[in-house]
Structure formats: structure tokens, C-alpha cells
Amino acid sequence: MVEASIRNKMIPVPRGDDPHDEARPFGAPAPAVVRPTVDDVQEIAKLTAAGVTAQYEAAAEAIEKMGVEVKDRVAKLEAALSECDKDLKLIAEAAASIREKGKLVAMQIEEASALSKDIRESCADFRKKVGG
């Protein structure tokens, strides 16, 4: 609409392509230039504002989309962190269980050693009694 209005007001200016065109003499007035009206300027401003608004809106939508992607990644990280917490608890439980089993085995070894000592002493006493 604005473009058509401007084109209708334009005056053709010779470009020097035709050898019969004479160059404008020095000091001669310049050809008429299109002077936009106030309405044309307002229309151009509206179109410019609309274009700028559209670009900012597109940028805002792209940022919002990026925010959704970040939120999804954070949710995945939180799920992974929760899984890691469960794994760490399992590891702590396994370590505690192994310590308890180690204590039990050590106690069994001590008991077996004490029993073995008692048996050796009993055998030594029996040998003395039998005469050996």
C-alpha cells in the first residue's frame, strides 16, 4: 500500500543510458524528489514498529522454548541425582554389612583359636597324666 503510493508519486529521472539524454548542467536544479506525506511517514512507522515487535516476539518465543528445554534437562538431572542418592545409600548399606560380616568372621576366628588353644592344653594335660 505504502510502496504503491510512493511509486505513483515518483518522477522518472534520466539515467544517462540513452545517448540522446543530456547530462544536467552544473547548477541546474535537481530533479523532483518524492516527499512522503505525513500519512506515509506514519504508515512506514507503523510497519517498522510492527516489524520490530514481530522480531522481539520471535526472540522472546525462542527464549521461552530454550527455557522449556532447560527445564526438561533439569528434570532429567534431578531424576539422575535421585538415582545416585539411592545408589549411595545402597553402597553405604553394603559397606556396613561387610564390616559386620568382617567382625563376625574375626570373632569366629578368635573363638576357633581359643578352642584350638584349649584343645592343645587339654591334650598336653592328658599326655602328662598318661605318662607321655
Q: For residue 110, give the amino acid letter.
A: E
CB 44 within 8 A of CB 36: yes
Q: For residue 45, give the amino acid letter.
A: A
Instruction: Give the C-alpha separation, 104 to 53, whole Å.
Output: 76
CA angle 124, 125, 128 (to 5 degrees): 90
Q: How confident is the model at residue 87 (pLDDT cuts 50, 70, 90)?
A: very high
CB 5 within 8 A of CB 40: yes
Q: How confident is the model at residue 83 (pLDDT cuts 50, 70, 90)?
A: very high
Residue range 65-91: mean pLDDT, rounded: 96
Instruction: Give the C-alpha separation, 129 to 11, whole Å.
Output: 142
CB 31 within 8 A of CB 11: yes
pTM score, two decimals?
Answer: 0.44
Q: Which residues contact 23 (CB under 8 A, 6 or more apart)?
A: 16
Does the pLDDT of residue 3 top 60, yes or no?
Answer: yes
- At 37 the pLDDT is 76
Render pLDDT for 25-67 as a digit per residue (tens, 0 to 9). 666 676 677 677 777 788 888 889 999 999 999 999 999 999 9
Does the pLDDT of residue 6 top 70, yes or no?
Answer: no
Render pLDDT for 91-129 as a digit per residue (tens, 0 to 9). 999 999 999 999 999 999 999 999 999 999 999 999 998
Instruction: Give the C-alpha separation, 36 to 2, whole Å.
Output: 10
Does the pLDDT of residue 132 top 70, yes or no?
Answer: no
Segments making up each domain of the chain, as ranges: 34-130
